Structure 1
């Protein structure tokens, strides 16, 4: 069998099992009102074309009719057109026509037109789902359900509920999706409609499978953090979901046993995926052979090909390509051609692989489908790279990234809880191009690598927050000028599969790359172990790894740094490097931060202009009492007192630290510093991050909105008692990203929880140095140096604090 990657299953999922057949022919069985004889004849001809799968001919005829129609007649033709465009794979045009019809039906405000209005809402929502645009789909489907309930249309309700379940599945809200699918299933059972029951059971099984993967990812993260209780908890949940997925898939297969339908095909393929001991390939092939040609049939042929030996897969895909061309469906043809190119790529028959990959690109390009196009540009890049055609590979990868950027809003919101799509289908495109550019790269290629890496950082940030809204307020327009003016060196750490790199971006505009001579897996293990040892205040085991990692990371660039003597080092870190304090690297005599002021950044494109006039004023909130499940923070009283004494401003503790009061104070007055001394946690996604107020937890989205509500951008946000998940390489994206998104210039945060008298001293020193006119990064360094000089000092106290954002 050919190797069928996870991405193929996800990509074709909604095509093969989520679209409901009930609506496919809806519009072509609806009578038109008040049409002329000529119009009736033309519509009947279009109907014949549609039923014969000649969608382009139907579209041509209907476009001519549309020009001379108006009112309800025009709305109905718009719907005919939308259905034809959808069946030919032109989904954006289908959406445009359905929106036009929807506007007409809404304006009519006629009860007798309610069935048509509901149908448009469902079809429109369904098509948005097919493009991954679940946010647009959800309100349309919820409106359709409400109208269908009012009109007592039980079947329509059930269908709309099912498609709404798809929307929630695409959003990564699997809990809600499962509840919605179960509602749909109950209605279909009442209707005794086994074919539609099968579709919903297929969808339900798939959602259990996806939630299982989410739980497994969370279990793995807990294991990395040595949290066995949480690891066992999520492993148990994953096992339960696997059992539910298998049971539901079995029920779907049993329900569809006497059906010759695409839902029966999907049921068997889903069950085979869950139970490899079963083999339904022969029955699937037989059913597909009997079914009329359609784009859904082509997608199931693609799925079937993924389970076959290469020679059989090629024949199946060639058949699918023929059907897609016969239908005039370029979108579906692009997927079938691309899948065939992938088979030949795996066979290392690169000439044929490139031939079909280029044909897939052409088909996707003809209908402006970047979500399909980027896959084949990426595939072409891999083939060029495998055949040693480096320059052509670079061009193909850059084209793929450009296509990805054009659809990044949809990527950002897709499955952000699990980030399967991003991990499997987006991130590798960037990283594979970085591998090419940095393997003996020229100076111009190194400069391009920096741009690509920062593009990856942006995509990760968008995916973490689940949207594409990362507007940088007052961004530095010429960062290289700032580097030169402040004598700052930027160090990019890039972790790649075969060879990781450091890129030195000097203040004079020179860029140099240095390979890190260790495998990715070994490097990540050492980073995670070092982080755990740094946190252990009872031990000095961290010293060995501090030395080893210094030798590995800093020693190769040490001569360059000594030559330049930078005033600041700014690290733009990748992966688990984000979760460790680089300043704690140790050369045997000094820590790195004893040599240079350090800060971290998501990239120079994320740096904003500082507007500080040296007049600091703080808004300080803190918790000293225990708020279950968190213990008390007795040192917060002194910490917050010192902050207010040094900077002035307002201070609120305990029962005055409520969400509403924090919101009120930020909105009411201009504060240059917001200091929050409370428990907080930043995990692998935005939903798991929070700060603890006295009355409740404040989510990351709420914190962002609070900070954004300030009359002027906040100069510094300090979070003095937070913790980031050590084993998750995205945990600090929340810490850095919330500041970027809300316009905060810099964030001082902690990588792990620490709150004792030494913390109070460090915070006090930092603000005192800041008040004296030092830059933020120099103020932090001086405060940390004071702690290092203290007898018995340990990096578990001082190394936890990191400055993110503008270092000035």
Structure 2
């Protein structure tokens, strides 16, 4: 979530400039548009995650304007409406000061105008140093407007003037200008160049003993490292910041830095460290009796609590923020976050109480980008309440927006549709319980936001508002108006280099074209959205909005539907005739979705490096394996099949997503119950009919003996081995493996390798984990591995610690790591872990645990006593994440915890088969499962079907 902090404005004495209400500003001439609604601060709860990611990346808050020597903060501040009459005769320091006020108020276009005048004044006066600093500030303002060439020109001119300048003050200005250049480089996708620039600024700040500058440079470097995918290096850099802060005395600067540090850790998912830093920031702010910083730290702690899904604590922090903070901006942010939580829980009475309180604060905010975003977001929140109420009352009616009037748009003077009178005014339409504000009211706010953004010259804000107003027209089925607005917004977003807005507009355009039966046009729009998302992949992972559990549901709301709707359109375009090119595109798109989902889980790009296509493996290396790609769509279940040396084919079952989900959930519950075999067979037979019955005869004719599934959605929670054809389970006919994508990492078999295993396990759970039962058969499990002829090194109980495990793996060349310990897979990164003697080892640490210098060193990882989190419909995301994070070519894990003795039996059988060196890993798992199936005590699917093989099945 966008964190609001004290923004430093550098003048001669580095004093803070308060934002002031700007006199003389008239409202845009929109009928019935009340000025109160033009001044709304950013609503934090809105689900536009990627924009907020970009905002979050500026960890220290708004970019810091460069300090100009000799400028005076005591200069008179001219009213906004008199700026256009300024001449060069005015003191440039006054112009500079006015530019800073405008910049900090979000009025970037006016800031550019004033700073340009200051530049001309300093040029006439021949004051090189002040000119250079002003040019760097001008570049920063241009960056906010997306005017990249002008921004580059200004910062280049500034740096050229400063090169070769000596003196402490000159170096400080040079470093500040370099910092602004680094921001431009990162925004333009030049992360390596930005990193080098910020490393240079760090060196200069150290030379001039500017500690805050050093901290800012380090945090910026962490951002650059993360953008390049170097997550561990980013965290290491932030840890360096943490150590530096500890040695500093208490000060306002320290509390701000700690808060920024805590916010950065929140983005990266280290919740506990984030909380500690924020609490320390709050403590210092209280000691210094700085109410502004107390409020800001409380606000950030609220965001941290929200990230941890502790809504009660988050609301308490937001309420304290409103009570304590002197800043109307911070108050509104806290109230809007509070409102967002209430909307999530549909607390209508509380929403009714909070809305007028928020309204009373909105008038304090001047016109700026922030107020425009707030106006848009507030309109969308009204629609969320309205939509929820309609669903609750089973109403399908949405009001038709009134006939549009003509407002001038920036693009070729084309008209902009907006609703006209008669429309309700905001004051007369505050909701009562079960009476949300109507759609036309939202449209009025959005139309006003569009005009305001035009008056500011802010293309990003205008694109954002156009997107939202187009979405309203889409909701009411007014396609041509919606399409016109969407295309205008897309043109603005693309010209402003705002992909985080562009992809949503491309998606919206695709939906609109699809609704009008323009399938080819819709496919092209969806292709554009997917391509934009791919370009944002690394940014997508650090998400986005508040970066909390909302991240993953946000992924499901704002990213996943794009891929699925695109797939649906592609399949529809076949017109009943299978098209192999389209089918290939479909499965590649589903793979891209699954990879993006994993990236989102870890908040970094995970699957990198050389990989081999699965089709190549089955066509050349393993011609007895077939690959199945089930895809769950809203009204159908689609299956694409690759049989060796045959073209792709597909078949469809017309069934709703809801029906599929319901059956899969029930089957998953029955599978863990040894007494529910009959129910399992009935339900598993239905799933078999969906996935395999149409292709079973071809599989038999082709001599296929191994099935590789690339599963989708809730299917990932099920072991495919348990599917039932009416007479036999699938495991009785095929070896089975899972893949997280269409490619394998260096797929080499384990045959003819000397098997050397590191075994580690806990017979008793560590203190504080009493909900996990003892694993008393671990010793017999390990003995079975040794008896199978596998060379083993064991760490049991007190010897099984993370540091010992890492040390053993690094020191010896084990090709197998077998962990007999409790673990849990979850859709939440924080809740996916295994246990060692000291407590948890989180899945995010697997990359350093099982790899050496970035290279995979484990062929097979076995997790024999793990389970998926209860009640988590996407828990196997954590299982896939564990497999990917470990870097092992293959992973074997259990979807639920199984009987201790049957586990030992399965493990012994698996290693005996594997040790022969004549069969694949998938076949070794297959045979071990069959041994349990044939055992009188373990023939129920709950015992043998829980084990799954992920990755390389060879």
Give the alignment's TM-score, normalised by structure 1. 0.82
2:541 and 2:601 in contact (8 A); partners too: yes
Which of 398, 404, 423 matches 2:556?
A: 423
Q: 1: CA distance between counterparts of 2:243 and 2:759?
A: 44
Following TM superposition, by how much is the alpha carbon of 1:456 offset from its aligned partner in structure 2, in angstroms? 0.9
Other-structure match for 1:693: 836
Following TM superposition, by how much is the alpha carbon of 1:590 offset from its aligned partner in structure 2, in angstroms? 1.1
> Pairwise mapping of residues 311-322 of structure 1 onto structure 2 (< 5 A)?
311-322=440-451
Q: 1: CA distance between counterparts of 2:631 and 2:614?
A: 23
* CA shift in 2, pair 1:447/1:152, >3 Å: same
Which of 869, 875, 880 matches 1:731?
A: 875
Say yes or no: does 1:788 pair with 2:915.
Answer: no
Q: 1: CA distance between counterparts of 2:733 and 2:514?
A: 42
Following TM superposition, by how much is the alpha carbon of 1:126 offset from its aligned partner in structure 2, in angstroms? 11
* CA shift in 2, pair 1:292/1:277, >3 Å: closer
Say yes or no: does 1:96 pair with 2:181.
Answer: yes
Other-structure match for 1:749: 893
* CA shift in 2, pair 1:567/1:319, >3 Å: same
Other-structure match for 2:528: 399
Other-structure match for 1:807: 953
113-122 vs 310-319, which deviates more? Answer: 113-122
Secondary structure at 1:603 match in 2: coil
579-588 vs 687-696, which deviates more? Answer: 687-696
Other-structure match for 1:361: 490
Following TM superposition, by how much is the alpha carbon of 1:448 offset from its aligned partner in structure 2, in angstroms? 1.0
Other-structure match for 1:294: 368
Which of 659, 663, 666 matches 1:526?
A: 663
Q: 2: CA distance between counterparts of 1:131 and 1:313?
A: 40
Other-structure match for 2:784: 642
Other-structure match for 1:549: 687
Other-structure match for 1:456: 593
Other-structure match for 2:159: none
617-626 vs 42-51, which deviates more? Answer: 42-51
43-52 vs 342-351, which deviates more? Answer: 43-52
597-606 vs 520-529, which deviates more? Answer: 520-529
1:161 and 1:180 in contact (8 A); partners too: yes
Secondary structure at 1:647 match in 2: coil
Secondary structure at 1:461 match in 2: helix
720-729 vs 57-66, which deviates more? Answer: 57-66
Other-structure match for 1:284: 359
CA displacement, residues 491-527 of structure 1 (integer Å, 9 cap, x when unaligned):
1122233323222122234222222343323322322
Say yes or no: does 1:766 pair with 2:910.
Answer: yes
2:479 and 2:512 in contact (8 A); partners too: yes
Secondary structure at 1:278 match in 2: helix
Say yes or no: does 1:719 pair with 2:863.
Answer: yes
Q: 2: CA distance between counterparts of 1:471 and 1:640?
A: 34
Q: 1: CA distance between counterparts of 2:451 and 2:724?
A: 64
Other-structure match for 2:10: none
Higher RCO (C-alpha under 8 Å, 6+ residues apart): 2
Other-structure match for 1:590: 728
Secondary structure at 1:691 match in 2: strand
86-95 vs 303-312, which deviates more? Answer: 86-95
* CA shift in 2, pair 1:387/1:204, >3 Å: farther
Other-structure match for 1:435: 568
* CA shift in 2, pair 1:156/1:554, >3 Å: same
> Pairwise mapping of residues 239-318 of structure 1 onto structure 2 (< 5 A)?
241-242=311-312, 244-254=313-323, 261-270=328-337, 272-273=339-340, 274=342, 275-278=350-353, 280=355, 284=359, 287-288=362-363, 291-306=365-380, 307=382, 309-318=438-447
2:749 and 2:920 in contact (8 A); partners too: no
Other-structure match for 2:815: 672
Q: 2: CA distance between counterparts of 1:166 and 1:457?
A: 28
2:910 and 2:928 in contact (8 A); partners too: yes
> Pairwise mapping of residues 375-524 of structure 1 onto structure 2 (< 5 A)?
375-414=504-543, 415=547, 419-439=552-572, 441=574, 442-443=578-579, 444-473=581-610, 475-477=611-613, 479-480=615-616, 482-483=618-619, 485=621, 486-524=623-661
Q: 1: CA distance between counterparts of 2:466 and 2:861?
A: 51
What residue ranges of structure 2 are gaps of 5+ in the alignment?
Answer: 1-36, 38-42, 73-87, 153-178, 184-193, 343-349, 383-436
CA displacement, residues 119-168 of structure 1 (integer Å, 9 cap, x when unaligned):
88899999999999999998999888988998868333343344444334
Which of 586, 601, 616 matches 2:739?
A: 601
Say yes or no: does 1:57 pair with 2:140.
Answer: no
* CA shift in 2, pair 1:481/1:278, >3 Å: same
* CA shift in 2, pair 1:59/1:121, >3 Å: farther
Following TM superposition, by how much is the alpha carbon of 1:572 offset from its aligned partner in structure 2, in angstroms? 0.7
Q: 1: CA distance between counterparts of 2:804 and 2:287?
A: 51
* CA shift in 2, pair 1:291/1:141, >3 Å: farther
Other-structure match for 1:568: 706
Following TM superposition, by how much is the alpha carbon of 1:648 offset from its aligned partner in structure 2, in angstroms? 3.2
Q: 2: CA distance between counterparts of 1:368 and 1:132?
A: 21
* CA shift in 2, pair 1:590/1:182, >3 Å: same
* CA shift in 2, pair 1:330/1:396, >3 Å: same
Secondary structure at 2:898 match in 1: coil
Cα-Cα RMSD: 4.4
Secondary structure at 1:302 match in 2: helix
425-434 vs 105-114, which deviates more? Answer: 105-114
1:626 and 1:633 in contact (8 A); partners too: yes
Secondary structure at 2:935 match in 1: coil
CA displacement, residues 28-82 of structure 1 (integer Å, 9 cap, x when unaligned):
776369xxxx99966655555555642343566789989x999976873465235
Q: 2: CA distance between counterparts of 1:107 and 1:518?
A: 64
1:9 and 1:303 in contact (8 A); partners too: no
CA displacement, residues 257-280 of structure 1 (integer Å, 9 cap, x when unaligned):
x97x43444355445554312264
* CA shift in 2, pair 1:294/1:133, >3 Å: farther
Q: 2: CA distance between counterparts of 1:320 and 1:301?
A: 6
Q: 2: CA distance between counterparts of 1:135 and 1:329?
A: 37
Secondary structure at 2:775 match in 1: coil
Which of 157, 179, 185 matches 2:254?
A: 157
Q: 1: CA distance between counterparts of 2:837 and 2:244?
A: 42
1:333 and 1:360 in contact (8 A); partners too: yes
Following TM superposition, by how much is the alpha carbon of 1:462 offset from its aligned partner in structure 2, in angstroms? 1.5
Q: Alignment length, in residue pairs?
A: 769
Following TM superposition, by how much is the alpha carbon of 1:739 offset from its aligned partner in structure 2, in angstroms? 3.5
1:122 and 1:160 in contact (8 A); partners too: no
Q: 1: CA distance between counterparts of 2:490 and 2:51?
A: 17
Secondary structure at 2:627 match in 1: strand
Structure whose residues are more often helix by fraction: 1
Which of 703, 709, 713 matches 2:846?
A: 703
Q: 2: CA distance between counterparts of 1:138 and 1:657?
A: 26
CA displacement, residues 343-365 of structure 1 (integer Å, 9 cap, x when unaligned):
22222222222222222222221
Secondary structure at 2:113 match in 1: helix
> Pairwise mapping of residues 113-128 of structure 1 onto structure 2 (< 5 A)?
none
Secondary structure at 2:559 match in 1: helix
Give the alignment's TM-score, normalised by structure 2. 0.71
Q: 2: CA distance between counterparts of 1:554 and 1:139?
A: 49
CA displacement, residues 438-460 of structure 1 (integer Å, 9 cap, x when unaligned):
34644232221100011111111
Secondary structure at 1:276 match in 2: helix
739-748 vs 93-102, which deviates more? Answer: 93-102
